Structure 1
Amino acid sequence: METANTERAVDVKLRSTIIHPGQPADKHTLQAKGVIIEKAGNLYLRFEEKQNGQVIRTTVKLGDEEALIMRSGAVQMRLPFSIGTPRPGTYGNGPAMFNLLVKTKELQIDTDKAGAVGDFHVHYELHADGALLGTYKLQISFMEGQK
């Protein structure tokens, strides 16, 4: 049986800026190999990173009006993004799991027609128990590459 899913190898570049209340901005960059998968009309970007010797698997679902970041492994995270609608999310590290509220300020997803080249940009706030934890800007660029 044939499947409609297409998977292509991509090079991933991630840039993030994190601003915790009362602290200077913290900037990070990451380059990784990943895959872009087209499934049921959505694009899914998957890649892995190593942090303190542990692997974190990341999947980013890129929809037309919404996006979702899911991380598993050393960190467990689920962050849904939707402009104008605060959404519940979760973050865990080890046995502790925290409920979050994700307030998306900006969301932009640009891909070429084939989905082999793209940019994902999101600016959001994370809240827990009614308090602002931080403001985040994340940009993920991907381009068809080699496995």
Structure 2
Amino acid sequence: MTASPTDSTPVKIHLKTKITIGEESDSYELVSFGRYYEKAGAVFLKYDEVQEEGTTNTIVKLTDRQALILRSGAVKMRMAFNEEEEQNGSYESQLGTLLLTTKTHSLSHTQMDTSLEGDFNLTYQLKMQGNPVGEYIMSIHYKEEA
């Protein structure tokens, strides 16, 4: 049985993020189980992040030249990435909605031809309300769960 594009496939997602602010660096790692699907020429990864504040539902949308990360639940955020121009996004907090700006340095998505497995790599500078808050290196590896 072959899957139609609207079907989603269970995947294991391994997310690594390194944040550098000035001289300080911090790294985060998350392994989660989620869903992979394709729609209108884009690849989507959907997974949950469970933290002390609660569960955050995350959707990562990937195309050849752009990416979009949407988070809802305990954290509500929208971040867009495009190597050609800065992108605006938002982060909702108790203080209200804050403007995010991303300046993408590099963005790549490679997928294996033989299996449902791939890598998404992203480096970017993040600004909040116009103020730089760090340089980010993010990588997501996903693989079909057998």
Query: Do they fold alike, i.e. is TM over 0.5?
Result: yes
Runs (4+) of structure 1 exceeding 6 A deviation are: none
1:94-135 Cα deviation digits (max 9, x unpaired): 453210111000101111247721111100011134321111
Q: Does 1:39 align with 2:39?
A: yes
Aligned pairs for 1:28-67 (under 5 A) are: 28-52=28-52, 54-67=54-67
Structure 2 unaligned blocks of 5 or more: none
The letter for the 2-side match of 1:78 is R
Unmatched tracts of structure 1, length 5 or more:
none
SS where residue 25 of structure 1 aligns? Answer: strand
- Contact kept, 8 Å, 2:16 with 2:27, in 1: the verdict is yes
- Summarize the Cα distance change of 1:4–1:129 in structure 2 as closer, same or farther, 3 Å threshold: closer
Identity %: 31
Rounded Cα–Cα distance in structure 1 between residues aligned with 2:109 and 2:103:
17
**Native 8 Å contact 2:5 2:37 kept in 1:** no
Cα deviation, residue 5, structure 1:
1.1
TM-score, normalised to structure 1, is: 0.90
Q: Which residue is 2:120 aligned to?
A: 120
Residues 95 and 37 of structure 1: CA distance in aligned 2, closer, same or farther (over 3 Å): farther
In the alignment of these two chains, the number of paired residues is 143
Letter of the 1:121 counterpart = N
RMSD of equivalent CA atoms: 1.7
Aligned equivalents of 1:142 and 1:114: distance in 2? 14
Give the conservation status (yes or no) of the 8 Å contact 1:43–1:115.
Answer: no
Q: Measured at CA, do residues 27 and 101 of structure 1 come closer, stay the same or move farther in structure 2, by a change above 3 Å?
A: same
Partners of 1:129 and 1:54 lie apart in 2 by 25
Alpha-carbon distance change, 120 to 33 in structure 1, aligned in 2, over 3 angstroms: same
Rounded Cα–Cα distance in structure 1 between residues aligned with 2:139 and 2:125: 15
